[in-house]
Structure 1
Amino acid sequence: MSQTSQTTATDQAVQRIQNNPAYQRLRSKRNAFAWVLTILMLVVYYGYVGLIAFDKELLAKPIGTGVTTLGMPIGLGVILFTVVITGIYVYRANTEFDAITERILKDAAQ
């Protein structure tokens, strides 16, 4: 197969995928889900930064009689939240999104 005919075949396959309604739904679903997670992450992260900027006294309050302040568990919560939403995205991508992608690729190959 020559380079030109191979490029044409690839272009046609890409066009078939882009015209597939399932691909359009996948893109829409995946983008909406990613935006929701992004907004949640921004709210949590900038909420924490906002607390640092505007309510240092709250974060500086000691927990119990030790030296650990309230800011430490809240900061840890931000980190754990990041890990959890990453896990949620990976789980959904590996189950739902990958299954749809596989069906779209099979349809395009026909």
Structure 2
Amino acid sequence: MTHAELSHAQRCDRIRANPKFQRLVRSRSRLAWSLSAAVLGTYYLFMLVVAFQPALLHAPLGEGRQLTVGIPVAAAVIVLSWLCTGWYVYRANTRFDALGADLLAELK
């Protein structure tokens, strides 16, 4: 291993050992897994209803109406995905960027 490769490896180890980096990784992972679980859980619940209880989604929204329950429910699944994505982007641009900047400032 050359001196440059060794110093790069040492810097990487120093970053990984930093408590701020560990907190950043933990909080990003927790948020990403939580939002992924919410979206996937909602999507698979919708698919289970489609597969095993399709009559629930075929029911009209009101007497004599053409719009069924399935349309707004499917739209809500899509909107939930957008909202979760927006929440992650907001957190990444505020909290995670601030933690990353603090980490970089400390390591310089």
TM-score of the two chains, using structure 2 as the length reference: 0.89
How much has 1:5 moved relative to structure 2?
3.9
For 2:73, give the aligned amino acid: I
Q: Answer yes or no: is the 8 Å Cα contact 1:41–1:82 preserved in 2.
A: yes
Residue of structure 1 in register with 2:83 after alignment: 84
Residue of structure 2 in register with 1:21 after alignment: 19
Considering only aligned residues, what root-mean-square deviation do their CA atoms show, in Å?
A: 1.6
Residue of structure 2 in register with 1:69 after alignment: 68
Aligned residues: 107
Higher relative contact order (CA 8 A, sep 6+): 1
- Which residues of structure 1 form unaligned runs of 5+? none
How much has 1:25 moved relative to structure 2?
1.2
TM-score of the two chains, using structure 1 as the length reference: 0.87
Q: Answer yes or no: is the 8 Å Cα contact 1:61–1:70 preserved in 2.
A: yes
CA displacement, residues 25-82 of structure 1 (integer Å, 9 cap, x when unaligned): 1111111111111111121111100110111111001123332211000000000000
- Distance in 1 between residues matched to 2:29 and 2:13, nearest whole Å: 20
- Which residues of structure 2 form unaligned runs of 5+? none
- Distance in 2 between residues matched to 1:95 and 1:69, nearest whole Å: 40
For 1:40, give the aligned amino acid: A
Of 7, 10, 34, the residue aligned with 1:9 is 7
